[in-house]
């Protein structure tokens, strides 16, 4: 598979093109995808677009479901919001 | 600018049911458009890693599909429908109107999650979710995994995770041994299934498969570190980095409900040819009741045969459907979540993950509407898709309404009409 570079929380990482952003985060050992209303770290439980626990900011757009988006060259991902 | 898509038949969902319907219709020369929320065809069950081929069972169907003129539009989420049946969706580029003379709903199912202390920790995930994550490219090498859920998905997922280098310590099935054995015996009526189960079983050697075992709590810090398990008599703790806990599947009926289709016991009601009570709206696959890929396929074939006027093709298909519906019934009976799973919930256990509503915020005497009004339960981004089935199981609260947008979307999608 071709490799692309994406930026996760300010650090560039090479990932296989087309894998989901959620998969790329797990592979980067990032487990806090978002912060819950009460402050707890959260990560996906469904990985198929229904739980919305995997929301991250992608290319400046908040609340994107990382399990539903594929990694593209130059993508910027910010987690923890 | 609103994009407009039109077709003789619009199919929502590109899993086995939608693909089977599309193949039948496409081969009969019908004008068909499939819209799907995901980036690739195959739905959940036929999901495959980018760069690697789809599973064997899917290949023939996907080849058939690509030999037709059927159009497939990915990354398109249906968020609303007008009274005339026009669907409104959102793509990366903006709002989309989707018009069809008829619509086939093949929106599939999601996993059933039941709350317990620690289930909100990162690393606690659905059984199917772990599979989906791996098939989307996640590498789980060297992770210590415990599966403590229910249903026939446990073994294939354990096998997949082990093949990826994860260490699968335990496969816990909450259903009692008697039920699982009874289900196994019933499989002889559904040829092929028993072999499938055995194959998965043997490949996942190294892990223990235990019936009558479930998770009571997960502990950790910034992610899950250990799980407390029980068999109802004895309780013990096991280290894990990934805990797969889900209890079968729940049909995705939101779009059907908004379209006015009759829903009974959480599934869309259809007639002999898969048509709902709304003329021109059909429903196929898991949305009509959980039965697996084979049932989904045959339901899709039936809807297609009916719409293309191939009445002579129906009797053998209906026979096959009856066989898989029996399988579906025994599946439901064998892996029904045990009541003890409700007893795990503590006052401070989170029930609604979007709005952080805990058990002590809720009064079992309420109905779902009161819970929503008083606590915002079910009113966050997932719109009750996770906690709705959970509170139905815990308190008997049934979700009977839905409103657009069916999934969160941009304001522009709703305003640009």
Chain A residues whose beta carbon lies within 8 Å of the beta carbon of residue B75: 68
Q: What whole-number percentage of chain B has pLDDT above 70?
A: 94
Residue-range domains of chain B with CATH: 3-109+250-309 (3.50.50.60), 113-247 (3.50.50.60), 345-417 (no CATH)
pLDDT of B278 higher than 80:
yes
pLDDT of B361 higher than 60:
yes
Q: Look at the block and give the residue holding tokens 């793509």.
A: B91
What pLDDT was estimated at residue B399? 87
Q: At A16, which CATH number?
A: 3.10.20.30
Residue of B51, B136, B221 best to disrupt the A interface, most CBs of A under 10 A: B136
What pLDDT was estimated at residue B193? 62
A-chain residue closest to B254, CA distance: A50
Number of domains in chain A: 1
Structural tokens at position B131: 């599979």
Residue of A27, A30, A31, A50 best to disrupt the B interface, most CBs of B under 10 A: A50
Report the mean per-residue pLDDT for chain B.
93
Residue of B50, B287, B361, B402 best to disrupt the A interface, most CBs of A under 10 A: B50
Q: Render pLDDT for B128-158 as a digit per residue (tens, 0 to 9).
A: 999 999 999 999 999 999 999 999 999 999 9
B-chain residue closest to A61, CA distance: B410
Nearest one of A5, A1, A22, A23 to A14, comparing CA atoms: A5
Domain that holds residue A14: 3-78
More confident residue, B180 or A14: A14
Rounded to a whole number of angstroms, the distance from the CA of B100 to the nearest CA of chain A is 25
Report pTM. 0.95
Contact A52 B382 (CB under 8 A): yes
Q: Where are the alpha helices (DSSP H) in B107-227?
A: 127-135, 154-163, 177-186, 193-203
Contact A32 B355 (CB under 8 A): no
Question: What is the residue-wise DSSP string for B108-143?
Answer: -EEE-----TTTTSTTEE-HHHHHHHHHTT---TT-
Contact A50 B252 (CB under 8 A): yes
Instruction: Please list, residue by residue across B61-86, b when 16 or more beta carbons sit within 10 angstroms of its beta carbon and e when fewer do.
Output: bbebbeebebebbebbbbbbbeeebb
CA B52 from chain centre, in angstroms, equals: 23
Q: What is the pLDDT averaged over residues B399-405?
A: 91
- Do the Cβ atoms of A68 and B37 come closer than 8 Å? yes
A-chain residue closest to B76, CA distance: A68
- Do the Cβ atoms of B220 and B243 come closer than 8 Å? no
Q: What value of ipTM does the predicted structure carry?
A: 0.98
Q: Render pLDDT for B190-241 as a digit per residue (tens, 0 to 9).
A: 555 655 565 566 555 578 889 999 999 999 999 999 999 999 999 999 999 9
Distance CA B368, CA B405 (A): 19
């Amino acid at each position: 598979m071709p490799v692309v570079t994406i930026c996760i929380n300010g650090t560039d990482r090479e990932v296989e093109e087309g894998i989901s952003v959620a998969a790329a985060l797990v592979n980067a050992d990032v487990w806090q995808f978002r912060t819950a209303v009460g402050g707890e770290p959260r990560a996906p439980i469904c990985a198929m677009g229904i739980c919305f626990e995997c929301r991250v900011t992608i290319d400046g757009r908040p609340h994107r479901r990382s399990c539903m988006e594929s990694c593209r060259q130059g993508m910027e991902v910010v987690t923890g919001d | 600018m609103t994009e407009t898509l039109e077709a003789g038949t619009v199919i929502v969902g590109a899993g086995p049911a939608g693909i089977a319907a599309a193949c039948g219709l496409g081969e009969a020369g019908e004008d068909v458009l499939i819209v799907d929320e995901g980036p690739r065809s195959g739905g959940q069950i036929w999901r495959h890693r980018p760069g690697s081929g789809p599973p064997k069972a899917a290949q023939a169907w996907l080849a058939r599909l690509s030999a037709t003129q059927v159009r497939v539009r990915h990354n398109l989420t249906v968020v609303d429908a007008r009274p005339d049946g026009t669907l409104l969706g959102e793509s990366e580029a903006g709002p989309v109107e989707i018009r069809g003379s008829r619509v086939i709903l093949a929106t599939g199912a999601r996993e059933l999650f039941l709350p317990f202390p620690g289930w909100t920790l990162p690393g606690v995930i659905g059984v199917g979710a772990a599979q989906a994550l791996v098939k989307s490219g996640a590498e789980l090498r060297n992770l210590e995994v415990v599966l403590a859920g229910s249903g026939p998905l446990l073994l294939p997922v354990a096998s997949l995770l082990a093949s990826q280098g994860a260490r699968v310590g335990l496969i816990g099935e909450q259903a009692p041994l008697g039920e699982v054995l009874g289900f196994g015996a019933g499989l002889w009526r559904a040829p092929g299934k028993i072999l499938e189960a055995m194959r998965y079983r043997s490949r996942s050697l190294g892990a223990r498969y235990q019936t009558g075992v479930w998770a009571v709590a997960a502990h950790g810090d910034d992610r899950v570190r250990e799980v407390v398990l029980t068999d109802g008599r004895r309780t013990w703790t096991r280290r894990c980095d990934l805990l797969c806990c889900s209890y079968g599947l729940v049909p995705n009926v939101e779009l059907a409900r908004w379209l006015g289709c009759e829903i009974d016991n959480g599934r869309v009601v259809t007639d002999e040819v898969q048509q709902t009570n709304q003329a021109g709206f059909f429903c196929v696959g898991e949305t009509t009741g959980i039965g697996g890929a084979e049932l989904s396929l045959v339901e899709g074939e039936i809807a297609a045969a009916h719409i293309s006027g191939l009445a002579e093709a129906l009797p053998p298909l209906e026979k096959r459907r009856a066989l898989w519906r029996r399988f579906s019934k025994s599946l439901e009976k064998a892996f029904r979540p045990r009541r003890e799973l409700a007893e795990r919930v503590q006052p401070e256990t989170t029930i609604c993950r979007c709005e952080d509503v805990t058990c002590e915020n809720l009064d079992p005497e309420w109905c779902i509407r009161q819970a929503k009004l008083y606590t915002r339960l079910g009113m966050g981004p997932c719109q009750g898709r996770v906690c709705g089935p959970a509170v139905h199981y815990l308190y008997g609260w049934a979700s009977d309404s839905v409103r657009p947008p069916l999934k969160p979307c941009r304001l522009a999608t709703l305003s640009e009409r």
